[in-house]
Amino acid sequence: MTNDELDMMRLSYLVPIVEALIGGYCFFLLAKSFMQSKKRAVSVGAIYFLSMRVLYIIPMHFINFAAYGFGVFAAFAVMCLLERRNYGQKAFITVVFFSLHWFAYAMTDILRDKTYDAILKTNYMVVHQNQWFAVYAVMCLFWLALYFVFMAVSIRCISKKCAYKYIDLSARELLILIAPSIMGVLGFESMWYYRTSYIAENGKFSDIYDVLAIFYCVAAVTVIVVVIVLYQGIKAQQEEKVQNGLLAAQIDSIKQHMEQVENLYQNTRSIRHDMTNHILTLERLYAGNKVEEAKSYTIELKAALAEMTGNINSGNPVTDVILQEMQISATKRKIRFEMDFHYPIDSGVNAFDVSVILNNALRNALENSEKSKEPHIFVRSYRRKNAYMIEVCNSFTGNLQWDAENELPITSKEKLDGHGYGLANIRKVARKYSGDIDIVLKNGEFWLSIMLMLER
């Protein structure tokens, strides 16, 4: 065996290893943009590389599509095991990577073949036949470099355009996003089959097939990126709609606070206006030695004051007003209303944020509890170290339907004038304080728990 033949054998082993290494690195680049841990993304790229190496060395014949399909499936399985969430996104990046590999493979193959064929036909190579291995080695490096560049550029474009990388895709969204990749790969397979058949029959390359193949691959990658951009635009519009709805709900809450405070102010003015007359009446009763009548009048006056100003003392005037209004509304609707609520004084929590939680939670509770046979609402709060908990429980009839996208119950109302954003608004406030909400439906009761993390 000649030295060139030995070098050729070594090169035939080395090139697939480098190709698999580049593929693993590119898979890592794509996975890193969508996974929450860089180390996990490294594991995904490593599994892809190892899978391709195992398939290359085992004594079995694999069709290229099946071999690379097995490699990306192994990487997908590892992604799902490492992060057991957002499986739609993982399926999306797996299919996209698979398609990008074949498009990059085709373009680099064609450019390498064309360049290699042109070099071999030069006068220099005709005279120096002993240089063919050196040229072949350079062409292998050229192919590997082009493959990496095409893959890296395509992945960068896709990663840059994907603004919503951590949202869970619905089945419909996943189908929309992977359809260009699937159709592109199927079209590529047909095109590549005819190109290979032409070369086998004619013993030479077809300029038309090669130009069309490169154009097709570029167009396919462009379509993938365009669909992603359009999808991101749709998600941005949806996000803007949700934000506008949350803003409308907050404005609605502010209006209610203003109305409640205005009512309290009017009651206070009324009390101040009549207080002089009440004091004069009491003085006359005591001056006339009518003690019993004075006591009776005092009791009635206390009752009237309690009705106008409320008997709730939660530790903050804003929450006092809200709880009082909700208590009055519940009484009018014949709903039993109990509370053990205390505002977290000196905790750094904004009173307006707590009022948003109470307003939305108790309004939902009022609407959902009055349909039950024994309507009731219970609201309480307590602290566990630096965790401040608010719990609202109300009677509930029926079942809940969940929105898979935002993991909240689907409202039965249209989201107009701020309706339907109550729970989303509550969760937004909770996450502002590094907390969250939890919803449980059991024994005919709807339990809403809100956790806010307080500053120590």
pLDDT tens per residue across span 152-201: 999 988 888 787 776 778 888 889 889 999 998 888 888 878 777 877 78
Domain assignment present for 409: yes
Q: Say if residue 40 is in the same domain as residue 185.
A: yes
Confidence category of residue 415, pLDDT binned at 50, 70, 90:
very low
Residue where a domain terminates, one of 245, 270, 294:
245
Q: Say if residue 92 is in the same domain as residue 238.
A: yes
Residue where a domain terminates, one of 245, 271, 296:
245
150's tokens: 């095409």
State how far the Cα of 219 lies from the Cα of 214, in Å rounded to an integer.
8
Domain assignment present for 263: no
Domain assignment present for 379: yes
* H or E element at residue 337: strand 336-340
* pLDDT tens by residue, 279-325: 777 777 778 777 788 778 788 777 766 665 556 778 887 788 888 88
Q: Say if residue 223 is in the same domain as residue 359.
A: no
pLDDT for 135: 85
State how far the Cα of 418 lies from the Cα of 414, in Å rounded to an integer.
9
* DSSP string covering 228-271: HHHHHHHHHHHHHHHHHHHHHHHHHHHHHHHHHHHHHHHHHHHH
Q: Give the single-character DSSP code of 83.
A: S
Residue with tokens 């260009």: 180
State how far the Cα of 383 lies from the Cα of 315, in Å rounded to an integer.
14
Residue where a domain terminates, one of 194, 221, 245:
245
pLDDT for 401: 65
Q: Say if residue 183 is in the same domain as residue 324.
A: no
Q: 5-37 in b/e burial notation, b at 16+ Cβ within 10 A? A: eeeeeeeeeeeeeebbbbbbbbbbbbbbebbee
Domain assignment present for 180: yes
Q: Say if residue 227 is in the same domain as residue 327.
A: no
Q: Say if residue 318 is in the same domain as residue 239.
A: no
- Please report, for the domain that includes residue 372, its CATH number: 3.30.565.10
Q: Say if residue 186 is in the same domain as residue 51.
A: yes
Domain coverage including residue 206? 3-245
Q: Say if residue 240 is in the same domain as residue 353.
A: no
Residues 6+ apart with CB under 8 A from 347: 388, 454, 455
Q: Give the single-character DSSP code of 254.
A: H
Domain assignment present for 118: yes
This prediction has a pTM of 0.60
Q: Say if residue 35 is in the same domain as residue 176.
A: yes
State how far the Cα of 34 lies from the Cα of 46, in Å rounded to an integer.
17
| The amino acid at 293 | E
Among 107-121, 241-255, 282-296, 353-367, whose mean pLDDT is lowest?
A: 241-255
Domain assignment present for 262: no
Start-to-end CA span in the chain (Å): 77
Domain assignment present for 296: no
Number of separate domains in the chain: 2
Q: Say if residue 318 is in the same domain as residue 202.
A: no
Report CA 450 to chain centroid distance, whole Å.
Answer: 20
Q: Say if residue 377 is in the same domain as residue 235.
A: no
Domain assignment present for 78: yes
pLDDT for 77: 93
184's tokens: 């592109």
Instruction: Specify whether the CB–CB gap between 375 and 335 falls below 8 A.
Output: yes
